[in-house]
Structure 1
Amino acid sequence: MSVHNFHNILFLICLITLGLIHVHPINAQPLSFLVDSVEYVWPTDATNQISSTFGETRSAHLHAGLDIRTWGQEGYKVFATRDGIIYRIGTGPHGYGNVLYMKHNDGSYSVYAHLNRFEPNLQAYTDSIRIQDYSFVMNEVIEEDSLFYEKGEVIAFTGSSGVGPPHLHFEIRNKDNEPVNPLLTNLTVRDNLPPVFRQLGIEFLNPINLKNEGFEIKNARRDGRNYEFGEITVNQPVGLSVNLHDRANNTPNAYAVYTLTLVHQSDTLYHSSVDQFSYAEGRHMFLDRSYQILAETRRAFQRLYKVNGNKLPIYRKLKNRGVLALDEGKYPLQIIASDIFGNETKAAVTLNVNGSNKIDNITDVPTYPAPGEISKPFTLNQKEVLFDNSVPMLASSEPISFSISRISDEIRFRSNSSIEKRLSPGIKQVFSTPNQQLWIEFPKEALYDSLNLHLDISRIGDEIHFNFSPDRLPIEGEVYFNYILPDELKDNEHLGLFSVDKFRNRTYFMWATNKDGMIRSPLREISSLVIMEDKTSPWVGKPHLEKNLAGNYVIRVPAVDRDTGIDYQASNITVNGKRGIIEYDPDRNSLFYYIPGYVPENQNQVEIEVFDGMGNRTSKTESFTF
């Protein structure tokens, strides 16, 4: 057995012996990945350093693998980490970008994402499929073709597709296609540095129903090798959460920790260990993290208690679900964080409880808070584009955003209606206005928990505002927004739907449909919305002839839209009347004309047609000599 695996197992045995881990079959570790008979080679020749690790916070899910540094460059070799066949190929401008899925003889998988391109034979295979309909986006399961690669063979080259900056995203998945922490295998990085505590979140819970009533944040103080949060006085039940990170040698990056433990004297109240999870549970990150703090601060505070609906298999010990509902008195608490290599840090906090708040045998901790004070509507009168690839922390809409400004109290608005309803999980239901102008369909799997939801609808000019309370709520599955436009706006095809982030004064285009006088869109969160107009066509620059990293000629066309982004699938470029595959790089704000083996003629005419998310169109013709 390798030294790294031996240390992992010894560390786990110590935790079990101390009573910090209660192992249950449902949470059993994937032991087949911890023996020497299953070994992996490092997946790239770029570096042996990681910029992100398993289980970190992402915009809409838990991070499912390792991000390996590539020095801010593209084109390093990517290796098959084990013998296997190519199971699935994907290409596209978002998510994993250009990605390969390999299947190994034991039924497990390895995944390689954000690639610049595939190795030449595999790239030719991929292009032969895409050229049939000139489609940029591809997602094909090709297991039956049995494209086999031996361990250590080059399968691709690193890039930045899907999301920048350049790096390699690498995953290991078990036979059920569930991501497993790659550092549970023989793969390792140099790390003898302990985690770092930054802040403690105190989430106040209603003493009767345990609904969240707000939070406070307390900064950590260094105390030798460990940390101190001092004394905190409360007069109601609380749940704690921590903002912390791990470190590794020779890299500036911050990582997620591997285990978290909350102890009162010799009593373990909470313990978690991030070994694996399923993709069906990936969005439960919003429940493991404090989504209220995440939405407001964009900082990931990991909860030391568990709310309803959270099905992540990472919790090894929970007493009273981790909620601190205690008798009057002072309680010295210790929070222990460790990385996967056994480096450990402790933080101390004393909870001073005023009055008795003791609740025994807590089994129900509501996911959602009660409706609060309804926010005043605001006008979106400033459209300064922010091309920073930021995305709403609780949504999966396109990263096109611009700043907004709140209106003053003096500005009058017309309120169409206010509605409030109690919604329940496991039941198909509709949240609607009395006149049925608005209805939001909630499938039975949409909610994590019961929700009392309030909505205020108002109109300022041609802008229609939908202000929810509570706001910025995670949901389990999509809900479906439907709104019948007022008669005077029904023919305005330039109206679009935007998600509102009031904390950062930004909106995010939702790529909704506007058809037959109705706005429709799936929603991946409960957030305030606004319908507003976009009549501005995209800006399109002069085409440039370039070579990509594979040495193939491509034509790059700069394209920017300040409101609703580029609709790359509707856009088109022809050269001398010939179609090509139109690829899109949102980080470079560019469309690319690509044909395998393309060589320009002496005289070339480029016809360009670019659409934005609302269908506004820009067309132009340019010529160049080769």
Structure 2
Amino acid sequence: MSRILLACSLLLLMVITTAWSLKPPAEPPTPPTVPHVTFDLPMRIQPLLSGNFGELRSNHFHSGIDFKTQQKTGIPVYAPADGWISRLRIGAYGFGYALYLDHPSGHTTVYGHLDRFASPIDSLATAQQYARESFELDTLYPPRRFPVKRGQLIAYSGNSGSSGGPHLHVEIRDAATQDILDPLIWYGDKLPDSRAPRIQSITLFAQGADGVIKPGKNRVSIPVVQAKNGQWTLKQLPPTVWGQVGLGIKAYDYMDNTSNIYGIRLLELYKGETLLFRQAMDRFAFADTRYLNALIDYEDWQRNRSLVMRSHLLPGNAWPNAQATNRGYFSLQDGETDTFTYVLTDRKGNSSRLTFTLKGERQALPTRLKRGFYLDYRKANVFKEADIELTLPKGCLYEDAHLRLERADTDGYADQFSLENVYTPLHLAAPLSLKIKHDTLSLKRAYYLAKRNKQGRWQAAGVGTYRHGWLTTPIRELGTFTVLADTVAPKITPVNLENAVKNRLFRIRVADEASGISSWRGTIDGQWVLFTYDIHTGYLQYVFDNKRLPRGQSHHLSLTVADACGNARTWQHSFDY
């Protein structure tokens, strides 16, 4: 029976492939040529954005635009131009259900957080899921194997994956490099926008011990207000500065017909008539997106969830989209004044301008504090003490820092270690090794790294690798860590089981309070069946498939769910259908 179903799945996949393989292989894509390329809007509803390209997100720049979907799922999505399917992805996290189209112009368009694919794409995906016996899917396809036409129905909008609400995420990429391009280059004329960016504040930053802001501070924020004539001005006089100083600004863009806030497309800062700093968000590479943490006031973000955009480059910041004179830093002589001007411009050309004056005043520079273990941003750093080792690879830091360790004894498997300063961002993953002092578990895979969150609770930070009494796990943020163990299998709770056959639907709530849900496998009569997973609800769901589930007989369902530490629980149920 198993071989027959597998053969049927492969046959269906071959049939779909054959039906779509009517065109010869494509020539290699040409580089994007924006001026003469047109893309239709992906949905036939009023186009409104909830997020724009390059806006500031946690640890990354937003890689596309988010179209509103009237606060619901299921809006039809259409191909914006002729092309072919180049990739299908399905996962519980990230983009959830995602569809990638390549186009003869040399572009890739991406549609994320979908509810489902349209026919026959849905049959293609399902056949491959059954062939691989996996809900998760990430498949690349050869050029022109599965062509689509401009205006063809390809999917339905949704809220899948790591989505915060119903919307359609759209990207346009350079197919050759997969660099992300601003979709508003093509769609800007279809979205009304007569509103200029609005400025909230500026921040003065002293460059480490080489600068200071009166009275002896390393950063000072000043509110910005808009006068009745529309002019932006500082609400109060700025303090005097000395030594090397940089600037930052907090501002958002706006569009017509919405109350949403958006990121700044073009930021320019002038010192007198000289361009001091410029950043344009037209395209970027995924490999560079984490430089966002060096372009914001990371401490302010961690403390207050406030996003101040630095207009200077920290020493280890290699973000290629910024052009800066002296990396955006400046100095003023004692008694010298100079004029500074911010110009913020959106894709439609709406702009806001803020001009202010700063004055230099000689004052004592701060003493370089040497608290903790010195970290040199230019090289790899290895911090090692009893029962703990942290390796920061070269390129992990944006500037020099000092690492302080606080240790607390516990009755658990390992001590509690606080790695400070938590306001030091990490660009790369840093392997953290903790000694398991009470190594009492025979099943070593039960150990996992836990990090204390802002609410003071422990949460899983990775299962890591156990070796000779040590647990090693890569981390992306500093903080407080320890080792915990997960020896309890996930909970499995069927919902509305009495009506499952009537509704042709099994809904199973799964939960794990420690290391988290990692995998699941469902079978009916010993044959794998497709259970989808929604992280928002915690439900696994199987929809009866008449092509694969025989009717008029008794069946036996078995569902096994495992957590990240390998603990598994199986739930079984017999039913007639």
1:226 matches 2:179: no
Over 3 Å counting, the alpha-carbon distance change for 1:227 and 1:209 in structure 2 is closer
Match of residue 277 from structure 2: 270
In the TM superposition, residue 173 of structure 1 has moved relative to its aligned partner by 1.0
Any idea what the Cα deviations from partners look like across 1:189-215, whole Å, max 9, x if unmatched?
111011112233333333438999853
Match of residue 185 from structure 1: 186
Match of residue 573 from structure 1: 522
1:496 matches 2:434: no
**Correspondence list, 1:299-448, <5 A:** 299-316=306-323, 318-329=324-335, 330-355=337-362, 420-425=373-378, 427=380, 430-433=382-385, 435=386, 437-448=387-398
Say which of 476, 483, 493 aligns to 2:427: 476
C-alpha distance in 2 between matches for 1:464 and 1:300: 34
Over 3 Å counting, the alpha-carbon distance change for 1:423 and 1:311 in structure 2 is closer
C-alpha distance in 2 between matches for 1:97 and 1:423: 39
Match of residue 506 from structure 2: 555
In the TM superposition, residue 499 of structure 1 has moved relative to its aligned partner by 3.0
C-alpha distance in 1 between matches for 2:515 and 2:541: 20
1:455 matches 2:405: yes
Partner amino acid for 1:101? Answer: Y
C-alpha distance in 2 between matches for 1:177 and 1:312: 17
Any idea what the Cα deviations from partners look like across 1:491-550, whole Å, max 9, x if unmatched?
475442123445x545542222364543221222334323334555544322347999xx
Match of residue 303 from structure 2: 296
C-alpha distance in 1 between matches for 2:575 and 2:285: 51
Over 3 Å counting, the alpha-carbon distance change for 1:575 and 1:47 in structure 2 is farther
Q: Secondary structure at the match of 1:126?
A: helix
CA contact (8 A) 2:313 2:328 kept: yes
Partner amino acid for 2:122? Answer: Q
CA contact (8 A) 1:276 1:313 kept: no
C-alpha distance in 2 between matches for 1:352 and 1:425: 33
In the TM superposition, residue 223 of structure 1 has moved relative to its aligned partner by 1.8
Match of residue 168 from structure 2: 168
Over 3 Å counting, the alpha-carbon distance change for 1:519 and 1:246 in structure 2 is same
C-alpha distance in 1 between matches for 2:497 and 2:52: 38
CA RMSD in angstroms, aligned pairs only = 3.4
C-alpha distance in 2 between matches for 1:611 and 1:31: 45
Over 3 Å counting, the alpha-carbon distance change for 1:84 and 1:92 in structure 2 is same
1:97 matches 2:96: yes
Consecutive unaligned residues of structure 1, counting only runs of 5 or more, are 1-29, 359-368, 374-418
Match of residue 408 from structure 1: none
C-alpha distance in 2 between matches for 1:423 and 1:467: 20
C-alpha distance in 2 between matches for 1:31 and 1:103: 12
Q: Secondary structure at the match of 2:98?
A: strand
C-alpha distance in 2 between matches for 1:114 and 1:622: 32
Over 3 Å counting, the alpha-carbon distance change for 1:372 and 1:111 in structure 2 is farther
Following TM superposition, the consecutive aligned residue runs of length 4 or more in structure 1 with deviations greater than 6 angstroms are 209-213, 369-373, 545-548
Normalised by the size of structure 1, how large is the TM-score? 0.76
CA contact (8 A) 1:546 1:554 kept: no
Partner amino acid for 2:325? Answer: K
In the TM superposition, residue 606 of structure 1 has moved relative to its aligned partner by 3.9
Partner amino acid for 1:208? Answer: D
C-alpha distance in 1 between matches for 2:224 and 2:495: 53
CA contact (8 A) 1:33 1:185 kept: no
Over 3 Å counting, the alpha-carbon distance change for 1:492 and 1:348 in structure 2 is farther
C-alpha distance in 1 between matches for 2:75 and 2:330: 50
CA contact (8 A) 1:233 1:354 kept: no
Equivalent pairs: percent with the same residue?
23
Q: Secondary structure at the match of 2:283?
A: coil
C-alpha distance in 1 between matches for 2:142 and 2:316: 35
Match of residue 366 from structure 1: none
Over 3 Å counting, the alpha-carbon distance change for 1:584 and 1:266 in structure 2 is same
Over 3 Å counting, the alpha-carbon distance change for 1:102 and 1:226 in structure 2 is same
Partner amino acid for 1:226? Answer: Q
CA contact (8 A) 1:483 1:518 kept: yes
Partner amino acid for 2:168? Answer: L
In the TM superposition, residue 262 of structure 1 has moved relative to its aligned partner by 2.0
In the TM superposition, residue 448 of structure 1 has moved relative to its aligned partner by 4.2
In the TM superposition, residue 287 of structure 1 has moved relative to its aligned partner by 1.4
37-46 or 216-225: which moved more?
A: 216-225
C-alpha distance in 1 between matches for 2:106 and 2:453: 42
CA contact (8 A) 2:31 2:105 kept: no
CA contact (8 A) 2:422 2:477 kept: no
Partner amino acid for 2:283? Answer: Q
89-98 or 211-220: which moved more?
A: 211-220
C-alpha distance in 1 between matches for 2:135 and 2:364: 59
In the TM superposition, residue 556 of structure 1 has moved relative to its aligned partner by 1.9
CA contact (8 A) 2:491 2:510 kept: yes
C-alpha distance in 2 between matches for 1:88 and 1:106: 17
Say which of 585, 593, 615 aligns to 2:534: 585
C-alpha distance in 1 between matches for 2:207 and 2:221: 15
Q: Secondary structure at the match of 1:131?
A: helix
C-alpha distance in 2 between matches for 1:144 and 1:208: 55
Partner amino acid for 1:438? Answer: I
Match of residue 612 from structure 1: 563
Normalised by the size of structure 2, how large is the TM-score? 0.82
C-alpha distance in 1 between matches for 2:478 and 2:369: 13
Residues matched between the structures, number? 531
In the TM superposition, residue 624 of structure 1 has moved relative to its aligned partner by 5.8
Any idea what the Cα deviations from partners look like across 1:277-329, whole Å, max 9, x if unmatched?
1111111111122222222222221111112233333224x233222422234
C-alpha distance in 2 between matches for 1:322 and 1:286: 17
C-alpha distance in 2 between matches for 1:547 and 1:72: 29
Say which of 194, 197, 202 aligns to 2:196: 194
CA contact (8 A) 1:75 1:157 kept: yes
1:526 matches 2:462: no
C-alpha distance in 2 between matches for 1:607 and 1:210: 66
C-alpha distance in 2 between matches for 1:623 and 1:370: 71
1:206 matches 2:208: yes
C-alpha distance in 1 between matches for 2:542 and 2:263: 40
In the TM superposition, residue 345 of structure 1 has moved relative to its aligned partner by 1.7
C-alpha distance in 1 between matches for 2:542 and 2:269: 55
448-457 or 210-219: which moved more?
A: 210-219
Over 3 Å counting, the alpha-carbon distance change for 1:438 and 1:356 in structure 2 is closer
Q: Secondary structure at the match of 2:409?
A: strand
Any idea what the Cα deviations from partners look like across 1:166-199, whole Å, max 9, x if unmatched?
1111111123210111112254311101111223
In the TM superposition, residue 97 of structure 1 has moved relative to its aligned partner by 1.4
C-alpha distance in 2 between matches for 1:370 and 1:172: 46
CA contact (8 A) 1:233 1:353 kept: no
C-alpha distance in 1 between matches for 2:556 and 2:313: 61
Over 3 Å counting, the alpha-carbon distance change for 1:204 and 1:78 in structure 2 is same
CA contact (8 A) 1:327 1:357 kept: no
C-alpha distance in 1 between matches for 2:459 and 2:223: 31
Say which of 515, 521, 528 aligns to 1:564: 515
Over 3 Å counting, the alpha-carbon distance change for 1:234 and 1:619 in structure 2 is farther
Over 3 Å counting, the alpha-carbon distance change for 1:31 and 1:118 in structure 2 is closer
C-alpha distance in 1 between matches for 2:220 and 2:572: 58
Over 3 Å counting, the alpha-carbon distance change for 1:575 and 1:209 in structure 2 is farther
288-297 or 175-184: which moved more?
A: 288-297
C-alpha distance in 2 between matches for 1:259 and 1:545: 55
Q: Secondary structure at the match of 1:130?
A: helix
